[in-house]
Chains A and B, each alone.
Chain A
Amino acid sequence: MTSSALALPAAPAWRTAWITDRAPVFVVVAVLMVFWYLAAFVMNAPQVRDAFERNDVKYTLIDVIAGTMDGDRPIVPAPHQVVIELYDSILGYPLDSPRNLAYHAWVTLSATAVGFALGAVFGIVLAILIVHLRTLEKSLLPWIICSQMVPILAIAPIIIVVFGAIGIRGLLPKSIISAYLCFFPVTIGMVKGLSSPDPIQLDLMRTWSATKLQVFWKLRWPSSIPFLFTSLKVSVTISLVGAIVAELPTGAQAGIGARLLTGSYYGQTVQIWAALVAAAVIATVLIGIIDLIAKWTARRMGATP
């Protein structure tokens, strides 16, 4: 802190702090980029060399390096190719065009949001039941754990087919698959959170002869809030994965999953990577939003700064 402040006397303090706070992140990103470019060269070089030799073209190392960085269908696309693809596919087409990546991202995001909401509510309700009815813990918990051991790729088509048979298509079946995956961390986290009050705090409620409902709203629920946000952060990324996975086996026409699928049919590796980056960005933003809400809530609830 001090040394960088001395080195940059002209920079305002907040900017110096902003840079020093984020320096580790920048360093990691830089290292990742170096490795990514190296990987792109190593993985794509044989392909490029083969192409030169097939056409009897004389080539130098520089040519090979250049070739590994701008191939049409590279094994590992270079970072700048992914960025260009992202730029082109988001800004190059109208928003409602199936060629626009933002359109696909939106389709997946809406399924994620609905699935996450369903999963979170279901997970919380389940946790409340388990905490209040100890018999349920014994009878339900094994099934809840079992539900998470079944591969979702096997269940997803079943859910799509069953819902399709009763006329429900599109968003809802995907959301249900997403909810199926993401309720679990919420249930586990909230069972712990709702049982987290100190025995003394529960005794106090008893001495005031509080009702079960009062104990819940005035003690158990507020005590569980930190646990809730921690599990929501885990669960929101899972719900995104769930929504993407739900698009894979069903031949969905839109969504990041569909984009991945068409990309792999036609060997469009750059498109696949762009879709992956888009998914990662969405997940980061979702976690960021939950983190912001968590911090705001913590401040309102008097957390130690």
Chain B
Amino acid sequence: MDQSVARRPGPEQSVAVGTSPTKSTRPVERVTPETATGDGRPATATALTVDMRGVSLTFQTRDGTVEALANVNLQISDGDFVSFIGPSGCGKTTLMRIIADLQKPTAGTILINGISPEQARLQRHYGYIFQAPALYPWRTIERNVALPLEIMGFDAKERRERVDRYLKLVNLSGFERKFPWQLSGGMQQRASIARALSFDPALLLMDEPFGALDEIVRDHLNEQLLRLWDQTGKTVVFVTHSIPEAVFLSSKIVVMSPRPGRIIDIIPCNFPRDRTLEIRETPEFIKIAQRVRAGLRSGHSYDE
């Protein structure tokens, strides 16, 4: 159980241990190194990208206190593909915004690569992809992808190289000079993925990135995303409503339930990294999907 803690570098460990609950109250859903490296990579390469302990978020409304998140404990290892799944209002987006330092928890501790979310944000450790592509309409595709690079002070030559590389990676070569409105929704979302990748963050936070797309495009992008994850070795945190999407993409599925937002199950899911859409017909796939559904049901997520 403590192997991963022991493996982390010294300073992080002291911070984590010093501020986290005692061992006995350790989260039951914590991920063991075995599941984290189920893709067969050596366990020694594992380091924690996200380490959340006792994270809660409450806010006051006119109708009283709302518990958006209650005592969330979650460890995400380097190279994981973790999906948050749950009904609306279960706090999965909030959890991701906390990781991204777009929102502050009211209790608990979080470390991203061993530092605070704010430091991680300032050091640009992650790329965030929203449900909407949110491309800037007055910039061409290439200038949209170059925008974070401009902000981070990359020189023009480096910007051009990276834009070319990442537009190629998301199959958008040839669309450099187009404006966003000239592209389909799926292409726009691919451009926004290229934008998030452009500065090469180790962690990708994806908030229902394909939620607004039709299923055919979504399947296609899921496959592309999987290949991209395999090629780049990035850690991905992915929010979704869709059970098949979560099972297909993830190395780990975090099942959440609302009122208060909490984690009710963490399901390891280790299909080979070069999986294709066909695995969705296999018994293993269906079994994991059933477990996800059972988890959602036990969390009374189907009440409404």
Contact = CB atoms under 8 A, between A and B. Distances in A.
Interface of A: 198, 200-201, 203-210, 214, 218-219, 222, 225, 301-302, 304
A220 to B, nearest CB: 11
Interface string B85-108: 000000000000000111000000
10 contacts: A198-B134, A200-B130, A200-B134, A207-B102, A208-B148, A208-B151, A218-B147, A301-B137, A301-B138, A302-B140
Interface in B167-207: 179-181, 199
A272 B124 CA distance: 66
B1 interface: no
A203 B196 CA distance: 13
A95 B150 CA distance: 53
B139 to A, nearest CB: 7
B136 interface: yes
B121 interface: yes
A204 B128 contact: yes
A304 B178 CA distance: 12
Nearest to B192: A204
A214 B148 CA distance: 10
A202 B124 CA distance: 16
Interface residues of B, number: 26
Nearest to B133: A200
A225 B138 CA distance: 10
Nearest to A301: B138
A198 B192 CA distance: 15
Contacts of B138: 222, 225, 301-302
Given A209-B121, A222-B138, A203 B128 contact: yes
Contacts of A208: 124, 147-148, 151-152, 199
A203 B148 contact: no
A210 B151 contact: yes
A207 B134 contact: no
B181 A302 contact: yes
A208 B198 CA distance: 11
B148 A200 contact: no
B183 to A, nearest CB: 12
Interface of B (DSSP majority class) = loop
B122 interface: yes
Interface in B116-174: 121-122, 124, 126-128, 130, 132, 134, 136-140, 147-148, 150-152
B53 to A, nearest CB: 23
Contacts of A304: 181
Given A207-B126, A207-B128, A302-B181, 16 more contacts: A200-B132, A200-B134, A203-B128, A204-B128, A206-B102, A207-B102, A207-B127, A208-B124, A208-B148, A208-B151, A209-B121, A209-B124, A214-B151, A218-B150, A302-B138, A302-B140
A201 B102 contact: no
Contacts of B147: 208, 218
A204 B181 contact: no
B171 to A, nearest CB: 22
Contact of A207 (B100, B179, B180): B100
A204 B152 contact: no
B177 to A, nearest CB: 10
Interface in B56-81: none
A204 B139 CA distance: 15
Contacts of B139: 302
Nearest to A219: B136
B155 to A, nearest CB: 16
Nearest to B181: A304
Contact of B130 (A204, A205, A222): A204
A42 B53 CA distance: 88
Contacts of A301: 137-138
Given A208-B151, A218-B151, A302 B179 contact: yes
A163 B148 CA distance: 50
Contacts of B181: 302, 304
Interface in B205-230: none
Contacts of B180: 302
Nearest to A197: B136
A203 B136 contact: no
B147 to A, nearest CB: 7
A222 B181 CA distance: 16
B62 to A, nearest CB: 22
A198 B100 CA distance: 18
Taking each of A206, A208, A209, A214, which has the highest tally of chain B beta carbons within 10 Å of its own beta carbon? A208
B130 to A, nearest CB: 5
A219 to B, nearest CB: 7
Contacts of A207: 100, 102, 121, 126-128
B101 to A, nearest CB: 8
B153 to A, nearest CB: 10
Nearest to A205: B151
Contacts of B126: 207
A266 B180 CA distance: 62
A104 to B, nearest CB: 41
Nearest to B178: A302
Nearest to B152: A208
Contacts of A201: 134, 136
A212 to B, nearest CB: 12
Contacts of B179: 302
Nearest to B102: A203
Contact of A302 (B128, B137, B148): B137
